[in-house]
Structures are given as structure tokens and as C-alpha cells.
């Protein structure tokens, strides 16, 4: 059952990319709980997407699995067309798909030890993926003179992070693109903002996680956080809801750090 309130999404259709697990899944479910009329659950993995869509349908909210690689503009366009045919025009886009996409996150190395294949994986997913999805949904948003675009980026784009220069460049590119988009789209009732997140709780088995949290590595990492814990997927959804709702109608072109105080923002 959905609920109404300041973040009520007024029966609008949302597309969440990379929503088959983790942060994307939490966002999709939260949007469904807060008044979205339908959720297009995107993922490169059909089983994951279908599982989350089924969870949302069990809540009494329309949902569909949209299986597409965000780096493929034609596939994204087909997915958006499928969602639009079923639910109507997409009013909310959450660009969550990231990291290295379907590939395994590569071993961290100094930039001069890497090669363009690694850079392209990061740039294709984290920058071109965002651009592809925006390009596919914006015409309908402009026609209807309403839209909310929220892009999940990383604090590595805002801070010094060793051996992550290619990833940081891709995420910083997504932030810059979103600011430019905000300027262009504001006249059409469309807002575009970013949420910058830091390290989330690792997805490990309970015993393995307990050992990791007791390690020197974990203690060193957490010493940099004002709130001395890793983030949880649930920590992200409140800011997403704010930026997807009419409560943020006068907010655009911004980056919101949701990071446990890892890095301040002036």
C-alpha cells in the first residue's frame, strides 16, 4: 500500500536504472511506497529486474522489468518505449546504474598502469549511460513540461581517492552533464540533480562482514566519517524521494552529498 505525504509522487511513472539490486532496488521500492503509479525496473540481468518488479507488483503498484544495458542507446530507447506503452510517459528518471556495469569492478591500479578498455567501461556506464537515458526520456518530459532527473554519483568525483582517477572522471562527468542539463531543461518544468554517495556497507556473508568491520582497514576508513559507520541503501532513499517529488520544485543543478559526513559541502 502506498502512502501520501510531502514526498508523494502523485501516481507518476518512474524509471530506475540498475534497479535489480542494492541502491537501485531500494530506490525503486521506495518510489513505489510513496505514490509512484508505475516503476520501470531496469537492469542488465533479467532475473534481477523481474524479481524486483514482482516485489513492487506485490505491493499493489504497477511495475515492469526493463532489461537493457544503459551503454546501448538503442536498447535504452526500446526499454523506454516499452515502459511508455505500458504505463504512459516517464516523469521520473533515476540514473543509478554505475561502476563498471555488467563487468566486474576492475582491480584498482594507478592510472598509468591501466589501459583505455578500463577507462571506457567506467565512462560508458557512468557518463554515457546517464546521457543515453536522459536523451531517451527528455522529449516526453519536455512535451508534458514536467520531469525529475536524479543521478547517483560518487564522492570519488569530489575528493582525492587513490587509484580511482578513471572512475572519478566518469562520475564527475555525469555531475557536470547534469548541471548543464539543469540549465537547459528548467524552462520546461524539469529539474536535474545529483546525489553523491560514499562507501556503503559491503555485501558480504555475516561472518565475513563481522571480520571485515573489525579489521584495521575498516577502522581506518570509518575514521574519516563523521558518522562512524558505512552507509546503507536505506540511507540514500530519503534524498532521492525529495528530489523526485514536487517538494524540490525550486531545486535544480545541485549535488547533494549523502555520505555520513565523509566530505563536507559548502
Residue 25, all three cell numbers: 532496488
Where do we find the cell 507488483? 57
Which is catalytic among the residues 110, 128, 146, 167? 167
Asked if residues 247 and 35 have their Cβ atoms less than 8 Å apart, the reply is: no
SS percent in the chain: helix, strand, coil, step 5: 50, 15, 35
User: Across the beta sheet with 190-197, what order do the strands follow?
Assistant: 62-67, 38-43, 13-16, 90-95, 147-154, 190-197, 255-258
34-50 as b/e: b if 16+ CB within 10 A: bbbbbbbbbbbeeebbb
Based on the residue annotation, tell me whether 167 is a catalytic residue of this protein.
yes
Crossing angle, helix 165-185 and helix 116-123, to 10 degrees?
30
Between the two ends of the chain, the Cα-to-Cα distance in Å is 39
Backbone torsions φ then ψ of 160, nearest 5 degrees: -75, 120
Residue 244, all three cell numbers: 523526485
Q: 60 vs 29, 90, 240, CA distance in Å?
A: 11, 19, 21
Q: Work out the number of other CB atoms within 10 angstroms of the CB of residue 141.
A: 22
Q: Work out the number of other CB atoms within 10 angstroms of the CB of residue 179.
A: 16
Give CA–CA dist 265/248, Å, rounded. 19
User: Which residues belong to the active site?
Assistant: 167
Amino acid at each position: 500500500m502506498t502512502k501520501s505525504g510531502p514526498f508523494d509522487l502523485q501516481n507518476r511513472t518512474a524509471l530506475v536504472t540498475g534497479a535489480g539490486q542494492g541502491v537501485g532496488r531500494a530506490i525503486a521500492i521506495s518510489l513505489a511506497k510513496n505514490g509512484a503509479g508505475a516503476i520501470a525496473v531496469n537492469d542488465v540481468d533479467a532475473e534481477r529486474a523481474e524479481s524486483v518488479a514482482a516485489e513492487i507488483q506485490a505491493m499493489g503498484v504497477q511495475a515492469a522489468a526493463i532489461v537493457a544495458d544503459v551503454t546501448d542507446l538503442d536498447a535504452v530507447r526500446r526499454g523506454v518505449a516499452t515502459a511508455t506503452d505500458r504505463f504512459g510517459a516517464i516523469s521520473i528518471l533515476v540514473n543509478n546504474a554505475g561502476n563498471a556495469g555488467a563487468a566486474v569492478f576492475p582491480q584498482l591500479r594507478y592510472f598509468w598502469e591501466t589501459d583505455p578498455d578500463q577507462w571506457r567501461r567506467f565512462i560508458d556506464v557512468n557518463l554515457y549511460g546517464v546521457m543515453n537515458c536522459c536523451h531517451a526520456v527528455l522529449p516526453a518530459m519536455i512535451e508534458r513540461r514536467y520531469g525529475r532527473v536524479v543521478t547517483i554519483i560518487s564522492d570519488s568525483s569530489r575528493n582525492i581517492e587513490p587509484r580511482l582517477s578513471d572512475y572519478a572522471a566518469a562520475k564527475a562527468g555525469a555531475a557536470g552533464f547534469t548541471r548543464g542539463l539543469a540549465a537547459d531543461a528548467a524552462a520546461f518544468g524539469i529539474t536535474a540533480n545529483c546525489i553523491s554517495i560514499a562507501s556503503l556497507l559491503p555485501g558480504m556473508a555475516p561472518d565475513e562482514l563481522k571480520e571485515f568491520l573489525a579489521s584495521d582497514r575498516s577502522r581506518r576508513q570509518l575514521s574519516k566519517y563523521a558518522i562512524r559507520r558505512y552507509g546503507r541503501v536505506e540511507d540514500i532513499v530519503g534524498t532521492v524521494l525529495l528530489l523526485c517529488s514536487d517538494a524540490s520544485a525550486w531545486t535544480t543543478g545541485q549535488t547533494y552529498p549523502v555520505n555520513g559526513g565523509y566530505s563536507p559541502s559548502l
